[in-house]
Homo-oligomer: A and B are copies of this chain.
Amino acid sequence: MFFHIDTKSNAPLYEQIIQQVKEMCAKGLLTPDERLPSVRELSSHMVINPNTVSKAYQELERQGIIVTVRGRGTFISKKTDRTSDPGRLKAIRESLKEAVIENYYAGYSKKELIKLLEEVYEEMEGKTDEN
C-alpha cells in the first residue's frame, strides 16, 4: 500500500504520488472510504519530507480524489460521475492528442493505435469486457 519513486523521472515527487494514487484508484486497488497512509507514515517510508506528502494529499483533495479528516486521516472519496465536467473531457482529449502525435512519429496505423488503447484500458480495468 505504498508508492515508489522514479528518480529518473523529471516529475516532482508530489506529482508522482498524485499520479500513483489516481492510477491505483482507476485500477481498483484503492476503493472508496479506504484509508491512505498517514502523512508521517508515508513520508518516513518513502524517505521524503512530510511537507511533500502533504502537498500531494492537498492537491488530491482539491481534485476531489480524496477526503481528509482532521485527527483521523485521509480517505478515498466516493466516485461520482463527472461526465458533465468539461475540464475532465479536455484533459482526456489532451492526453489522447499527445498519444496521436507520438503515434505519428512511431509510424503506427490508426487501427494499431486503437488496439493499443484497448490494451492499456484492459490492463487498467483488469479485463472486464463490458461495452
- Within 8 Å of chain B (Cβ to Cβ): is A36? no
Contact with B along A88-130 (1 / 0, CB 8 A): 1101110111111111111111110110111011001100001
Q: How far is the CB of A31 from chain B (nearest CB, A)?
A: 13
Residues of chain B lying within 8 A (CB to CB) of residue A7 = none
Q: Is the CB–CB distance between A100 and B26 below 8 Å? A: yes
Q: How far is the CB of A18 from chain B (nearest CB, A)?
A: 11
Q: Is the CB–CB distance between A95 and B95 below 8 Å? A: yes
Q: Is the CB–CB distance between B92 and A113 below 8 Å? A: yes
| 8 intermolecular pairs with C-beta atoms under 8 Å apart | A23-B97, A26-B105, A81-B107, A91-B102, A93-B120, A95-B98, A96-B117, A113-B121
